[in-house]
Amino acid sequence: MTIIQTKSSTTNKVLNYPLNTWYVAAWDHEVTRTLISRTVADKPLAIYRTEDGRPVALADACWHRLAPLSQGKLLAKDEIQCPYHGIVYNSAGRCVSMPAQETINPSATVPSYPVVERHRFLWVWLGDATLANPDTIPDMHQMDHPDWAGDGLTIPVTCNYQLVLDNLMDLTHEEFVHGSSIGQAELSESDFEVTHDDTTVTVSRWMHNIDAPPFWLKNMRDKFSGYSGKVDRWQIIHFEAPSTINIDVGVAKAGTGAPEGDRSQGVNGYVMNTITPETARSAHYFWAFMRNYRLESQLITSQLRAGVSGVFKEDEDMLMAQQAAIDANPDYEFYNLNIDAGGLWVRRLIERMLEAEGRMATAK
């Protein structure tokens, strides 16, 4: 396919989202025998679990008069009843009972979307169901691998999902947004390297022989009690299209070989992020912080979740302010800097997906 690149094609301020892809709709523990309503990619979904434990995502609008099924009732097996006139559907979205007549109208169906439970999340496919291949779910294996422990939360952000991706692909903002926890001047000063292929982008940054910022000093001391020396710090940002970013982060005692591959004298975490577009101007930001040391400590899990939560609150405030300023200044364009290289590759990969679907890159 030939792609015509224009400057504006990689600087859309409000990017559309691909549909032929998997998005996280919920944490696995949110999907229960109590219905929830959640909008993914502008499609309202009614999400629940069947009696035998299978997750289901139906369009949250009854075939009859569009009443929200999420306000309905779960019946036996896999069935759900519309709250308005009582039509019952099964998990395939097919009507199994129309209370007011003896037959079932052959077109009485609501869309039932392919779902897969993986990496502690419920993934949903809203595009062409014939293309839905679970093998293309992004790798987030640290979420439930025995070598890793941790937890996370969901942030409802009122900005276009792409702004969150931009934020995570360029961590020089940490010095300014997260000055009290993980930010430090060396982030902006050190060099970084960007690579990409058809579906992934990687941005790597190493900072050698620096002071550990407060967050990392605490983590080092959780493993190496009382540690106070210099560290080598790394951030390796792995993007997997269209909206998952896992960041390999950590510090190790300076000069103990971490850059060469021996991380035994350090602490390593993975910041797992997957961003689900909700509307053109809002997203569900699912994240978790996973670590591979002190796996037994629930205290550390809770402390890390609280700490990262505080850091991400700072991002959320900035992203909301940025989206508001974008909308208040429709005549101004973005300007791209060298530090935006990772984010721009991300945009280009997403635009390819949009082109393949025959969809426009810009959302309204």
Partner 1 sequence: MAATNIEVWQQATVIETAAVATNIQRIVLAPASPKRAEPGSHLDLFVTIDGERRKRSYSVVDSTEDGSRVAISVLRAPLSRGGSIFMHGLQPGDTLEVTQPLQNFPLRVGAPSYVLLAGGIGVTAIVNMARVLKNLGANYTFVYAARSRERMAYLPELLALHGDNLQVHIDDEGTALSVADLVGSIDPSAELYMCGPIRLMDAVRRAWTERELNHPNLRFETFGNSGWYDPEEFLVRIPRLGVEARVPAGRSLLEALEDAGVEMMFDCRKGECGLCEVTVLALHGAIDNRDVFYSERQQQAAAKMCCCVSRAVTSRTGLEADAAAGGPAIVTIDVS
Binding-residue pattern over the window 30 to 69 for ligand FES, x denoting contact by CB under 6 A: --------------------------------x-xx-x--
The one segment of 107-115, 169-177, 225-233, 275-283 that binds partner 1 by CB under 8 A: 107-115
- Token pair for residue 143? 């979420």
Residue in the shown chain whose Cβ atom is closest to Fe ion: 315
Return the number of other C-beta atoms located less than 10 Å from residue 333's C-beta: 11
Residue closer to partner 1, measured from CB, 111 or 307: 111
The one segment of 81-89, 151-159, 296-304, 346-354 that binds ligand FES by CB under 6 A: 81-89
Strands (E), the chain: 22-27, 36-40, 43-49, 55-59, 73-74, 80-81, 88-89, 95-97, 112-113, 115-118, 121-125, 149-157, 192-196, 200-210, 231-240, 244-253, 266-279, 282-291
- Token pair for residue 217? 């000093």
C-beta of residue 148 within 8 angstroms of C-beta of residue 271: no
What's the DSSP call for residue 212? P
73 binds ligand FES (CB under 6 A): no
Give me the residues that bind Fe ion (CB under 5 A), please: 315
Question: What are the C-alpha distances in Å from 52 to residues 29, 40, 76?
Answer: 15, 25, 10
Length of the chain: 364
Rounded to 5°, the CA angle 252-255-257 comes to 70
108 binds ligand FES (CB under 6 A): no
Considering only residues 75, 86, 94, 295, which one is a binding residue for partner 1 as defined by CB under 8 A? Answer: 94
Residue 67 interaction partner, one of ligand FES, partner 1, Fe ion, none, beta carbon < 5-8 Å per kind: ligand FES
Residue 87 interaction partner, one of Fe ion, ligand FES, partner 1, none, beta carbon < 5-8 Å per kind: ligand FES
Residue closer to ligand FES, measured from CB, 82 or 132: 82
Residues that bind ligand FES (CB under 6 A): 62, 64-65, 67, 82, 84-87
Residues within the interface to partner 1 (CB under 8 A): 59, 61-63, 66, 90, 92-96, 101-107, 109-112, 114, 128-130, 132, 358
